[in-house]
Amino acid sequence: MKKTSMISLALALCLLLSLLAGCGGTGTQTGSDAAPASAVSGAEPAAAEAAPAAAPEAAAPTEAGSAQEPAEEPTEAEPVYEKVEVALPITDGGETISMYLLLPPFITAMVERPNDLTVLGELEKRTGLTFDITPGNYIDGQTDVNLLIAGGTYPDLINHADLYSNGIDAAVNEEIVIDLKDRIENDMPNLLASLKAYDVDVIKQMTTDSGYIAYFPQIHKEPYVDNFAIVVRKDLVEENGLEIPETFDEFHDFLTALKDASGMQFGFSNDGFDQAMITGLNLGPAGTVGAESLRVIDGELEYCGVADEMRQYLEMARDWYAEGLLYSDFISYESFMQGNMVTAGNTLFGFSNGNAQTIQEGLVNGIDLIPIPYPTPSAGDEIKIHGSGEVVRCAAWSVSTQCSEENLDLICQLVDYIFSDEGTLLFNYGAEGEAFRYGDNGEPEWTDLILDYAGGTTTACMIYATATPAEYIPGIYDDSKFDYSYTDTMVEIEDMIDNASTGEYDYPIGADNRISSEDLLTAAALSSDLSTYVSTTILSWIHGQTELNDQTWQEYVDTCYAMNLQDIIDIYQEGYDVFMAE
């Protein structure tokens, strides 16, 4: 009788719990059936629809005194970030948004006013807004942005406010620009969905030490690795029966054979820190002491300029220069100048700072260039540096503190439209029928206006689309839009650059945002004289003007630390530790 009562009690208890569960209220519908949020609705991102609950089973009878296992806590569904359509026009009133935009001088000289650039003109027509644009000089952007800020009168939008001398974090604290984090996370579904579409936490990367997001970004469609590869003359390689080298020793013999055959030399970085050469040694360029010149091994930061591998590289570069393998006047030539020399085919047989564009320019001149992998000390050595793909291309628009609340609402809708699918197409290709048309495969293709423009494809795109190096507007930048003309070799070099490194030693993108403005300014001040000393010393070693041996190397290392190197490392280490702990 007692046992039967216990069973009845357990069944009754289960029934009661089931009834209570059914009285939990009618939650807000989410997922694919929920109505999409408007561009500035303030709605939370739609969450994945929960699976229907299974019917409860009757509890099995338990022995007296036995413990029931606690019920598992339900896990919260990961939000689903989806893009929405933005109703156009945004306004019928023709409200004016003032902008300060950094534009290349040759472009401003070719258009009567910046609004004549297709993307800006189209945005005005589609949204109903009017843009009052003050152009700055893209080439000297840092000076121009700081002059604007020093004047104390700001437009609604400031392009590249991150160039402010005290940093973007300080720009918010000093009430120059505003924090946009809440707006991005709550009112801008298209921008938020775009930022959440990557494997890395882009929001975290953009957030400053004080917790701000102070700009609307321009981002890459796919994470972008900003590296360059080694390219050489294909005809010389084939004529001399050479195999593609893998190691530094093989590369030395390869360069020697090409020089003996052609009498020409190999292009080399003018600062001495040749990225294509030092990557295989897991080093970053050390000419400027900062995030790019640091590597992380087991959580500890090291300055590449004093690493043992750097001495190995410098001895190698010194010897190769003495043998006449490296371009004898490399220090006097910028990278693009050497690129022009190798694509002309009559001065250099190869170049250490090449990309797909270099190969394309060579083909125009009848010069077929081929890429070779980054050499390493031994075949099969793993490369662990410069492999992290960059998502944020630039800090495109910051909203000034002098922008009205009404204009801020309009700007948020404008930016969210630019990050919509329709806005992304405009951002990259301009207007249909003018700069692009749809091909048989349904994908956009450039028109003859772009491909046959007398001033070149790049200039045409800058005027009639936004395929431009000038980062004057936020949006999603599709780096593949020029692939229409890529040869198999050009695709190969892009793949080589993108996949050469694991990125294990990289200083994480965004970690320097966890460094306070004051500490960043301190690090910049400390690194100024140190960077000059490092650059001067390594060039004197490569040129053979100063002997590189155990004594001079140790004196160099000691001098670097005497010039506050450890203080700089400690500042970046603290930013790294905070970033990684989040």
Q: Which residue has the tokens 């009430």?
A: 175
Bridge partners for 376 per DSSP: 247
DSSP 532-557: HHHHHHHHHHHTTSS--SHHHHHHHH
Determine the Cα–Cα distance for residues 130 and 123; give it in Å rounded to an integer: 9
Distance CA 384, CA 307 (A): 15
For residue 79, what pLDDT band results from cuts at 50, 70 and 90? confident
Instruction: Tell me the per-residue pLDDT of 125-162, one tens digit each, with 9 for 90 and over.
Output: 999 999 999 999 998 999 999 999 999 999 999 999 99
Domains and CATH numbers, the chain: 96-219+391-477 (3.40.190.10), 229-385+501-581 (3.40.190.10)
270 Cα distance to chain centroid: 24
Does the pLDDT value for residue 21 go beyond 90? Answer: no
Query: Minimum mean pLDDT among 55-59, 343-347, 400-404: which range?
Result: 55-59
Give the pLDDT of residue 58. Answer: 39
Which of helix, strand or coil describes residue 394? strand
Round to whole Å and give the CA distance between 323 and 37.
66
d(CA 19, CA 15) in angstroms, rounded, equals 6
Dist. CA 281–CA 384, nearest whole Å: 9
Amino acid at 236: L
Contact between 279 and 383 (Cβ < 8 Å): yes
Bridge partners, 297 (sequence order): 300
Rounded to an integer, what is the distance from CA 437 to the centroid of its chain? 29
Query: How many residues comprise the chain?
Result: 582
Structure confidence at residue 53 (pLDDT): 40
**Reported confidence tier of residue 487, pLDDT bands at 50, 70, 90:** confident
Picking from 153, 66, 137, 152, the residue whose alpha carbon sits closest to that of residue 101 is: 137
CA distance 528 to 549: 26
Residue 298's pLDDT band, with cuts at 50, 70 and 90, is: very high
% of the chain exceeding 90 in pLDDT: 71
Task: Write the pLDDT tens digit of every residue in 414-434.
Answer: 999 999 999 999 999 999 999
Pairing of strands 130-137, 369-372: unpaired
Nearest to 349 by CA among 488, 494, 235: 235
User: What angle separates helix 550-562 from helix 565-581, to the nearest 10 degrees?
Assistant: 70
Confidence category of residue 228, pLDDT binned at 50, 70, 90? confident
